[in-house]
Amino acid sequence: MTITSLHITNFRNLAEVALVTCHNGLNIISGNNGSGKTSLLEAIYYLGLGRSFRTSAASRLIRQTADKFSMFSQLINDAQRDISIGVEREITGTTKLRVAEKDASSVAELAYYLPIRLINSQSHNLFESGPAFRRKYLDWGLFYQSEAFLFHWRQYERVLKQRNVLLRNRCSKRELDAWTDELLKYGVTLDMLRREYVEELAPLIIEITQELLAIPHLKYHYQSGWGDGIDYASVLADSYHEEVRSGHTLFGPHRADLEISMDGIPVKHFLSRGQQKLLICAMITAQGNLLTRQAKKGLIYLVDDLPAELDLASRQKLISMLSRQQQAQIFITAIESKMICELLGEPAEVPIKVFHVEHGRVAEGKEFPCFLAKTSSGI
Applying CB under 6 A, among 6, 25, 27, 31 the residue interacting with ligand ATP is 31
Minimum gap (Å) between residue 107 Cβ and ligand ATP: 21
Strand order in the sheet with 14-20: 14-20, 2-11, 68-76, 82-90, 95-99, 102-103
Rg (CA), the chain: 22
Q: ∠69-72-337 over CA atoms, to 5°?
A: 90
Q: Decide if residue 35 touches ligand ATP (CB under 6 A).
A: yes
64 binds, among Mg ion, ligand ATP, none (CB under 5 to 8 A by kind): ligand ATP
Nearest to 355 by CA among 25, 38, 21: 21
Q: Decide if residue 345 touches ligand ATP (CB under 6 A).
A: no
Considering only 57-65, 108-116, 129-137, 201-209, which stretch makes contact with ligand ATP by CB under 6 A?
57-65
Considering only 62-70, 87-95, 205-213, 215-223, which stretch makes contact with ligand ATP by CB under 6 A?
62-70
d(CA 190, CA 219): 22
Beta carbons of 8 and 360 less than 8 angstroms apart: no
Q: How far is CA 56 from the centre of its chain?
A: 16
Report the residue number, 120 or 145, with the smaller CB distance to Mg ion: 120
d(CA 297, CA 286): 13
Nearest to 77 by CA among 295, 370, 325: 295
**CA 76, 194, 104, 68 torsion-angle sign:** negative
36 binds, among Mg ion, ligand ATP, none (CB under 5 to 8 A by kind): ligand ATP
Q: Decide if residue 35 touches Mg ion (CB under 5 A).
A: no
Minimum gap (Å) between residue 39 Cβ and ligand ATP: 3
Using CB under 5 A as the binding rule, the residues of this chain from 37 to 56 that contact Mg ion are 38
Report the residue number, 40 or 75, with the smaller CB distance to Mg ion: 40
Report the residue number, 43 or 201, with the smaller CB distance to ligand ATP: 43
Residues that bind ligand ATP (CB under 6 A): 12-13, 31, 33-39, 60, 62-64
Residues near Mg ion (CB under 5 A): 38
